[in-house]
Structure 1
Amino acid sequence: MALSLAVSPCPNDTFVFHALVHGLIPAAPEVNLTFADVDVTNTAAERGEFDLVKVSYAALPWLMDDYELLPTGGALGRGCGPLVLARDGKLDLTGKTVAVPGDRTTAYLLFRLWAAKTPPARIEVVPFHQIMPGVADGTYDAGLVIHEARFTYQRYDLVSLADLGEWWEGDTGLPIPLGAILARKGVVDPTEATEWIRTSVSMAWANPAASRDFILANAQEMEPDVVDQHIQLYVNEFTLELGRDGLAAADALLGRAAAAGLTPPIKPFV
């Protein structure tokens, strides 16, 4: 029976899951792929809609009763954090409107921890591709962006007010836990799924050209050089294996969030 898989169309996900999705791993089952932004998968997973799913680490407190965290395939790293963008580099966010890509995203959770002493008056959840244009045209005072926006925000004449990755790493010494891969309990064997995905990652690294057409076809009009930068930044050693630092990063993020009353408490991974 085919397994349902939901990931984003971003280059890091299409790079990582190309071999698995295209039936190139002999031991793996057929996979039915759905592309969706992480804000969609965060809530879809809560409804149990997918067998394997990419979600934000910030959404885990609502999902761990039904899913198990896999130690491979996700997005963690250093130097890859969300940015707070505005037209004015000296903008004070107090009383301003900030566009965010989802209310259960890691980016927004980091923003809430960072901005705890000066919360903006209004948060608007906006599709990711609308954030930078909306800030540029004055619809929003500031915007919280992720992924390829690190490489393209200057095109909108925007400036970075804060790099939440730098803030997080400076405060904790840990990588940022952005996206997690979950397996639905009772449906997917987590050990087997880990091996499928780890093999898919290894095959992607061994033969990057094999996934190129698939990546570019789903890269939402990203230029090839931006695609390459995206993959190099977000597919790293933590993608292959979370390891102790990766799990510690998840514990630090969710522990701080629970202590601040932002998320329900969750059992530590380490």
Structure 2
Amino acid sequence: MRPLKKEDINQEIFDLYDDYAHNKIDRRQFLEKLSIYAIGGLTVSSLLSFISPNYVDSILVKPDDERLESKYITYESPKGGGSIKGLLSQPDNNTKKLPGIVVVHENRGLNPYIEDVGRRAALEGFITLAPDALTPFGGYPGNDDDGRELQKKRDRFEMLEDFIAAFNYLKSHNNCDGNIGVVGFCFGGWIANMMAVRIPELKASVPFYGGQPSDEEAVQIKAPLLLQYAGLDTRVNAGWPAYETTLKEHNIEYTVYFYPDVNHGFHNNTTPRFDKEAADLAWNRTIAFFKEKLK
């Protein structure tokens, strides 16, 4: 049998995976529903393997890239999870203070994709910190299924405090100039929105397909926003009209892009939801936004 390709996968399978990845259904229900599509030579195992992340072959900036100084650090989050681990990355042999970016993971901890994103951003001339909100449980467990289960055990507002503490860590870092932004994906997109709510000094926020704050929360935003949404992501997109109304009514600076015909998670190049054209465009816009707002 030839290898599966993206065009072999029914959109309903992507929607089903999205429900599973966001805890709408459990693994047993996911596999039962997935079996409906195991026809014509397709098996459940082949479908599951294809739609699951492939971290080994997808890393763009290797952990030992000589252009970077990238290492794990710990910082204190007194209102959150205590001592939190994170990946701190910056250009190698840097001799000047740099603007900072907090990089926020999805709902499964600091997996290799998010670490890679942290390194990608650092190569653009930033000092980046990608925290792991699963640190209180020993950190990202090595696979996303277990990571999701662990993250469900933490309160999301307590985790928000961990990322606010990451902002504070960068702000006081000797190599940071104090101009700090945040980029987050999925759960991290909600965190990016909420950091804009909670941190008046935040200089820029880029939520990728992130849940929106309440109207009462949104009016507190001071940071300019660059909001990136997937056209097929009806679950997250449903909250946008009310959010936009509040942003407009209170003259909050924002730019929003909807990328047509792509799925939630389109920036994540480790799964078939990845759309290279949309991901590259969104990332280029992200870096340009940070260079404008943080430098």
TM norm. shorter chain > 0.5: no
TM-score (norm 2): 0.29
TM (norm. structure 1) is 0.31
Select the structure with the greater relative contact order (CA < 8 A; seq sep ≥ 6): 1
